[in-house]
Amino acid sequence: MTDMERKTFCAALRRYGAQAQITMAFEEMAELQDVLCKFLRGRVDGDTLANIAEEIADVGIMLDQMAIEFEVEDAVAEQRAYKVRRLRERIEKDG
């Protein structure tokens, strides 16, 4: 995340509080789940891909705030790198 994004997310956590932002993270993840389920059920219209992009962005914003709140930004980056590396190795192994 950029420095400006981090400052904005910290300000949001201060203003609204951790509990409210955790609840918002739940809500945003549920909205993403809902739009993806609609996609899988074939309920696709002109706004579907835009809605998916919007909800992925919302979830990403909330996840960044969670990493800040729980002071796990470095651990998240390490886990992400590890899991991407593991996925790449599995793909290469399976040929």
Number of domains the chain is built from = 1
Task: Please write down the long-range contacts of 32-38, taking CB distance under 8 Å and 24 or more positions apart.
Answer: 32/56, 32/58, 32/59
The answer to whether the CB of 55 falls within 8 A of the CB of 31 is yes
Q: Which residues constitute the domain of residue 22?
A: 3-94
What does the pLDDT profile of the chain (95 residues) look like in tens digits? 999 999 999 999 999 999 999 999 999 999 999 999 999 999 888 899 999 999 999 999 999 999 999 999 999 999 999 999 999 999 999 87
Question: pTM score, two decimals?
Answer: 0.92
3-class DSSP state of 44: coil
